[in-house]
Each structure stands twice: as structure tokens, then as C-alpha cells.
A = this chain, B = another copy of it.
Amino acid sequence: MDKYPSDVERMIRLALEEDLGPGDVTTDAVISGDVQGRASLFSREEVVLAGLAVFQDVFRVLDPEVAFELCFGEGDRIPAGGCVCSLRGRLRSILKGERTALNFLQRMSGIATLTREYVDRAGTGEVKILDTRKTTPGLRWLEKYAVRVGGGTNHRFGLFDGILIKDNHIAAAGSIRAAVDLAGKNAPHGLKIEVEVENLAGVAEALSAGADVILLDNMSVDEMHKAVELVGGRALLEASGGVTLDTVGPIAQTGVDMISVGALTHSARAVDLSLEIVSDVSADA
């Protein structure tokens, strides 16, 4: 994982402040500052791991002397019961960072795991599984990164780095063609023009208007087949709308280029990881 944007660093600090506030009253009252500890991170179910760097950075922000030993790497499939990594350092630091580090890692790994499942179900073809903008406020970068770790591909990051003409844009412009023309004239030239349509007539109109990408919104598998034929490679096709693990395979079979799945980020559950900690009471004594 490359250096992430500074907003991610801010989120790590914010999450720690949220949990620690003026201090960990239990740990500070009960455990002396010189007690050392060791911990092992286990997965209680089979998961695709994502977020190891953030997991480590949470502890590093608290205490640069916490040391890590990794047994698995980012994107690895961890078996149920597998030991992901071990860490050692001041027991106080381990206890203070535990919950925050796990909150990041469990969520990100949940997304990677679910994405991998969608990718596997889509089959061995060329189709790409895309995420959406239905992400957790403040965590978009990390969640889209987890999608990539799981084998998915990122759709536009936000409203600023991709053109997507939807029904309201079309209504305001007067027609698909008018909207496409306005985008071509006013938007940065490096962005492809994607148009969302709801039926085959829309596909034909978008194609004729010069759309580079056509989003098939909530169409049946049958209609998608026809759209693929109709377009014949002259534009990219993206299937979208209520895609599930059951429907992703058949949709992939239609020959669309991409399938976007909101559930990757908005409904992935946190996977079950836990940190087993041992204090070395006598370590420094």
C-alpha cells in the first residue's frame, strides 16, 4: 500500500481521539507504564485481508516503538483461525490502540472479502466489478482501496473525476444529445462521457449522441443482452442496480464490460478478527 492521502492520516488520528479522549481510565489506573505486552491477531473466519498498513499506523501514532511481525500480506486469503500478525510493545499502547485498529481492519477486510466473492461469482471473463459512491462518510479512500485489494475496480472517486449524466441532467438539458453536447463542451476533455439509461431506446439514443460509456440502470438480463448486441463494442457498457451475489454471474454472461455493486461498500459487514493479548508482567522487572 502506497502512502495514502493526508485525509486518511487525519481519519486515523480522529478515530483515536474519538476512542481515547483524555485517556484510557482503566488501563492508566491498573497497568503500570513499563509493562510490556505481546499480541497475536487472529481471524475467526476465512477472510481476504485489507488494511494492514492502517492497522499498524494506529499503533504507531500512539507509540512508535510497537513492533510488528506479519504472517500474511495485504490481499491474502486468511483461513479461519489463522494468525495474521503478532505485535509487541508497551502493554498500555497495545490496549489503547486495539479497538480502533480493529475497527478499521474488520471493516476494510469485510469489503475486500465481499468484493472477492463478487469477482469469483462473476466468472473468469473480462468483466470488471466496480464500486460506487455509496461509501462510509470519511472513509471513501480506504473503502475503495479495499475494493481493489479484493480484486474489484474503482469507479470514479467522486463527482469531480468522472462524468455521469443521469435523468435529472437529461431533463434539465432537454435530451440525452443536448446533455452529452454540453458535457463535451464544458467538462474537462480528459473525462469520458457516461450516460445512465433505463431501456434500450435510451441505449440507442446515448450511442447516437456519442456517449463513451452507457450505464444500464436496473435492466433485466435479457435487455442487457440486447444492449450488448445493439452497441456492438462502440461504447463501454456498465450494468448497475440491485446486483446481488446471485445475479452477478448471469449479468456477467451478457457481455457487459462492467458491473457496479453498491453493496460492496454500503452493506459489507465487519469480519470477525480478534487480538489476543498477553502481558509480560515481569519483562522489564
Contact = CB atoms under 8 A, between A and B. Distances in A.
Q: Which 3 pairs across A and B sit closest by C-beta, in order of nearness?
A: A15-B137, A162-B190, A21-B160
B137 A100 contact: yes
B21 A140 contact: no
Interface in A210-243: 212-213, 236, 238
A250 interface: no
Contacts of A158: 18-22
12 contacts: A7-B14, A18-B140, A25-B161, A26-B164, A26-B165, A29-B186, A30-B169, A91-B172, A136-B139, A168-B277, A189-B238, A192-B192
B138 A15 contact: yes
Interface of A: 2-3, 5-7, 10-33, 35, 37, 62-63, 91-92, 95-96, 99-100, 102-104, 106-107, 128, 130, 133-141, 144, 153-166, 168-169, 171-174, 179, 182-183, 185-192, 194, 212-213, 236, 238, 257-258, 266-267, 269-270, 277-279, 281
Taken together, the copies of this chain in the complex come to 6
B134 A136 contact: no
Given A14-B138, A189-B192, 5 more contacts: A25-B161, A30-B173, A107-B266, A157-B160, A190-B213
A189 B164 CA distance: 12
Contact of A29 (B21, B96, B185, B269): B185
A92 B221 CA distance: 33
